[in-house]
Structure 1
Amino acid sequence: MNYFKNLFPNSKKSNKDEVNKNEAPVLKDKIFEINHVTKIRPVLDPLGLPGLIGDISHLLSSGSEASEEFIAAHSLIRISISIPRGYITLPYGATFTEPRLNAIFVQSTGGGKGVSEKQTNAIFNLAGELNNTEQPIALHARIHSGGLSTGEGISYELRDDSTDSKGNFIQGQNDKRLIVVEAEFANLLAKCNQKTSILSGIIRKLFDGESLEPLTKTDRTSCTDPHVGILGHITATELVSRLDDTSIYNGFLNRFTICCGMPQELQPFPKIPCPDKMAELAKKLNDVLIWVNQEKRVLGMSDCYRELWEDKYAYLKQLGAKDSIEQSLLTRAPHYATMYAMLFAVLDKSNVINSSHLTSALAWIEYWHQSIIYIFDTEKDKINANEKSKIANDVLQSIENLIKQNNGQPTDRTPLQKAVGKKYNSQQVSDALQSLQEMPKPPIKITVHAHNRQVISLTKNI
């Protein structure tokens, strides 16, 4: 009854309420904050659909059950892999970055993943039919829709020229560009989890653009400079249930952007896109790829791009609570933000990446982030992480006060625990001290003295 009376503070209080008014309050609001977190539907900001990519996704999703986000994501993958290797690069330290995207479409069965794929195929098939230019290689990368079964299989699909044991020449595949559509991504995850499978390692190498070397003494199939993008379809239930800690934390899954889609409005008679508009967009798509094929380009960075990147870089590096699923799956957010920005520059046929290209890229990172929060329900992790951060700040403040009282001399665990003992227990203090030491610039240093006495000092003068 007290709870309901607290909801109506103007209600007349009983004498019993007056007797209990000095009791410690129960933090019910805090309990509800942690246990009743509303999941927010992932939405791609319209800034992520500029120019040609927006026109394509708008046209093909309008009046259909296809997802605008899925059409755009699929198109970006196909464009990234259609760019010949080494033709669009961006300096990164002593190396360089080139766009090579993977994605997983997460939606309920029958929700429209397949429809989105077919709608996207329609514009790219038309672009292929309209292409009448002579290029060293085809403008558009090949599509393999049979899925991935083994690491050896993908190596064979993109094999180099070779000779067999009898010295016979075996023709390889000159065009190492390939887009793999895995309509049953749950099966791929199951195969990756098999102890004898090398598929997970192969997929990681493909994303990194590393050559695939001969894998066994009998199988001498190799693949030099592969350029592969993978698009998977899966339901949220399958994704969560099929994943194990290895897939989450070994760098496999964070090489894929995760796009969570919602069922679209039912369309018993899907709208037929205007043929003239389809032809116009297909021609523009070809024009972009023709421009890409003209010469190798090292993209530059405008001043406004550098300024925005510097502002957002720390945020991109720190997405998700420490050691959480969210943090692990978003580890490559800066890399993907760069690749997306490069692609938006390509779509503008620009040799320079500017802030608008990065703004569009950041919209995709945020959509990815929202999708992970929604699918894996990580809001509670964020609340717990915020609470741990608050405890660490309080502990640091207590350390600073104790050292000031000691005229700048270090303190140890005993006075620290006494200082915060009324608020935090020993385990919370230990966790806070560990967190403070693991910061990029640790504010404290702990050394162990005789009798296991832990001495705590500041790394700078306060």
Structure 2
Amino acid sequence: MRRIVDAISPSHAAPPFDDADDGDGAAMVAHRNAPEADPACLYGLIGDVAHAGSEGTETNACAIAANFMAYLSCAVGRGVYLPIGNTWHHARLFCLHVGRSGRGRKGDAVSLVLRIDQALRAMDAVFAPQIHRGGLSSREGLVALMHDGYRQGRQDVPAIEDKRLWVVESEFANVLHQGRRDGNTLSAALRDCWDGVDLKPATKSNRLYASQPHVCLSGAISPSELTGLMSTRELTNGFANRFLMIWAERTRMLPFPKETPQAVVEHLARRTLEVLAFVRANRHDQRDHLRMELSPQAQWRYAQLYRGELNDDFGDGAVGALLERRAPMLLRLAMLMALTDLQTRIDAQHIDAATAWIRHATASVRFVFVSAAEEAKLALVLELSNRVLAFLRERGQATRSQISAECFRGKVTKARIDASLEHLLVSTPPKITVQWGVRADGAPGAPLRVYRLATA
């Protein structure tokens, strides 16, 4: 089957001002704006932290917010859960900050969060999670940070009771490098952590075990490293799509950035402590004790998104693979937004704030992994597909020639029409169906193709 978009290549691989041909002789300028986050992302406490860290500095507020969300989702722990079907979701996030070296201000984006953590520990250290900044190299090394206890010689090493672990990977390329080594199971372990699955020993000789881990991760990487090191394995095994990938670079140039006043840091730490006290994050032995729920308005909003953009089909390339987990990620984000309001009910405004993050992540992934020319092709396919859907809703059914002549007035090429029809046929679930029939007049030629809207 012919692919909708013939090739997916990193957006930074081609010169930014080259012209690309769309297949019909029309040239498209291969440049576009970098994605910018909607202000709706900066909700409540998360937004206040972001604004405080970006004021008077070059640091992108969205990057600060993403790191704070990863930290807060870790500190909250496994006590809070949201049941969806038979799955219990915890507010556990992996965030990946993508930006060019020297322009992403990736180190600065985590600095304020670390200062808030220090202030929080000074107030009540029991609420603060464990932080690991030394880099991850193996599954065994990760398990050792939150193990269930083991025997070393004649000595029993006691278990680490608090399973909350915030991993800060300032050089996320290291994790991708480790995943390429034969026999290294770090990426599989991180997948299990995102899912909340027990980390069992990888070999018979290693008896380290970690039950009910609550690991959250903040990573940073340049776009060239990300596209160069991300292998097909990471795309197909579900490792990459567990990360909320956001593009964020400096928004201004300031030779002398200002420091966030300590009084502001302590105020933000007190508000963070209120959230952690609300969820009883200090009770490490109590898991799944605080149930969250969606309000009727939030349920309706999420259902509309789930039937729509959360399951938009981006083809079978890198973008489709990287955006596969948008729905559960949105729920985790919405949980976090509600908790910052000190409530266990997720309302419509929490869904909206989480949706803004998902949209920014979607735009970021497409910006990094799809060239400008391919982005334009995909946009055209989606536009033509919507026109076909509207046409079929009005007519009920139509042949291939009727779609060409009546829907597009004969002004759209066969290749573009075929691409739009294929997109609708391979959507999940399919939006249209095609049936082959014999020509009514018995005339020779290929059988008629009749297209109809798919039944719900």
What TM-score bracket applies, with the shorter chain setting the length? Answer: 0.7 to 0.9
CA contact (8 A) 1:320 1:330 kept: no
CA distance, structure 2, for counterparts of residue 336 and residue 443 of structure 1: 28
CA contact (8 A) 1:298 1:351 kept: yes
Any residues of structure 2 matched to 1:383-394 within 5 Å, and which?
A: 383-385=376-378, 387-388=380-381, 390=384
Return the letter of the residue paired with 2:339. V
Out of 362, 366, 376, the position equivalent to 2:355 is: 362
Partner of 1:65: 58
Higher RCO structure, 1 or 2 (CA under 8 Å, sep 6+)? 2
1:50 and 2:38 are equivalent in the alignment:
no
Partner of 1:436: 425
Partner of 1:23: none
- SS of equivalent residue, structure 1 residue 131: helix
1:103 and 2:95 are equivalent in the alignment:
yes
- Measured against aligned partners, the alpha-carbon deviations of 1:126-170 in whole angstroms (never above 9, x if no partner) come to 1211227xxxxx211111001111112111222112335x66423
1:79 and 2:67 are equivalent in the alignment:
no
The gaps in structure 2 that reach 5 residues or longer are 1-20, 439-445
What is the CA-CA distance between 1:422 and the residue it aligns to?
A: 11
Return the letter of the residue paired with 1:278. V
CA distance, structure 2, for counterparts of residue 344 and residue 284 of structure 1: 14
**Structure with a larger share of its residues in helix:** 1
1:378 and 1:308, CA in 2 relative to 1: closer, same or farther beyond 3 A?
farther
1:186 and 2:179 are equivalent in the alignment:
no
Q: How many residues align?
A: 417
Partner of 2:4: none
- Measured against aligned partners, the alpha-carbon deviations of 1:1-25 in whole angstroms (never above 9, x if no partner) come to xxxxxxxxxxxxxxxxxxxxxxxxx
Out of 217, 221, 231, the position equivalent to 2:218 is: 231
CA distance, structure 2, for counterparts of residue 99 and residue 326 of structure 1: 24
- SS of equivalent residue, structure 2 residue 82: strand
1:275 and 1:45, CA in 2 relative to 1: closer, same or farther beyond 3 A?
same
Partner of 2:271: 284
Any residues of structure 2 matched to 1:442-457 within 5 Å, and which?
A: 443-444=432-433
Return the letter of the residue paired with 1:90. L
The gaps in structure 1 that reach 5 residues or longer are 1-27, 133-137, 405-410
Out of 202, 207, 217, the position equivalent to 2:194 is: 207
Return the letter of the residue paired with 1:306. Q
1:32 and 1:255, CA in 2 relative to 1: closer, same or farther beyond 3 A?
farther
Any residues of structure 2 matched to 1:105-254 within 5 Å, and which?
A: 105-111=97-103, 112-131=105-124, 138-164=126-152, 168-254=155-241
**Identity percentage of aligned residues:** 26
Return the letter of the residue paired with 1:88. V
CA distance, structure 1, for counterparts of residue 254 and residue 317 of structure 2: 39
Partner of 1:9: none
What is the CA-CA distance between 1:205 and the residue it aligns to?
A: 0.8
What is the CA-CA distance between 1:447 and the residue it aligns to?
A: 8.3
- SS of equivalent residue, structure 1 residue 147: coil
CA distance, structure 2, for counterparts of residue 454 and residue 395 of structure 1: 22
1:458 and 1:102, CA in 2 relative to 1: closer, same or farther beyond 3 A?
same
After TM superposition, the score normalised by the length of structure 2 is 0.79
Out of 246, 255, 263, the position equivalent to 2:250 is: 263
- Measured against aligned partners, the alpha-carbon deviations of 1:74-101 in whole angstroms (never above 9, x if no partner) come to 111111111121x211111022111100
What is the CA-CA distance between 1:396 and the residue it aligns to?
A: 12
What is the CA-CA distance between 1:247 and the residue it aligns to?
A: 1.6
Partner of 2:340: 347
Partner of 1:3: none
- SS of equivalent residue, structure 2 residue 279: helix
1:149 and 1:322, CA in 2 relative to 1: closer, same or farther beyond 3 A?
same
What is the CA-CA distance between 1:379 and the residue it aligns to?
A: 4.9
CA distance, structure 2, for counterparts of residue 394 and residue 460 of structure 1: 10
CA distance, structure 1, for counterparts of residue 207 and residue 336 of structure 2: 35
Structure ID, larger Rg: 1
CA contact (8 A) 2:149 2:208 kept: no
What is the CA-CA distance between 1:436 and the residue it aligns to?
A: 2.1
